[in-house]
Amino acid sequence: MSFHEFRLEGDYVELNLLLKLTGIASSGGEGKHMVADGLVTVDGVLELRKTFKVRAGQMVRIGDEEISVLPEVD
């Protein structure tokens, strides 16, 4: 399993963009397809909303990739 940490720059990041910004998807569009195909869970629950607002403390998983979302640094 591959583990990523993502530090927010604001209150949230949209799910499809998170996949892009962590390098799991090559583009936001590819991230949208991954979500639409039912490949992504947030905190263990299947998430089908492409622009779901992922917030600090949440865990995103796709295949063997896991992303821990961390709060913004002051």
- 20-41 pLDDT, tens digit each: 999 999 999 999 999 999 999 9
Report the number of distinct structural domains present in the chain.
1
Read off the CATH number of the domain in which 28 is found.
Answer: 3.10.290.10
CB-hemisphere CA count at 13 Å for 33?
A: 7
pLDDT of amino acid 41: 98
Query: Could you tell me how many residues make up the chain?
Result: 74
Helix (H), strand (E) at residue 15 = helix 15-21
pLDDT-derived band at 73 (thresholds 50, 70, 90) equals confident
**Which CA distances in Å does 34 have to 17, 26, 56, 61?**
11, 11, 21, 11
Q: Strand 45-46 to strand 40-42: parallel, antiparallel, or no bridges (unpaired)?
A: antiparallel
- pLDDT digits 0-9 by tens, 36-69: 999 999 999 999 999 999 999 999 999 999 999 9
Provide the residue type at 61 as one letter.
R
> 15: domain range?
2-70
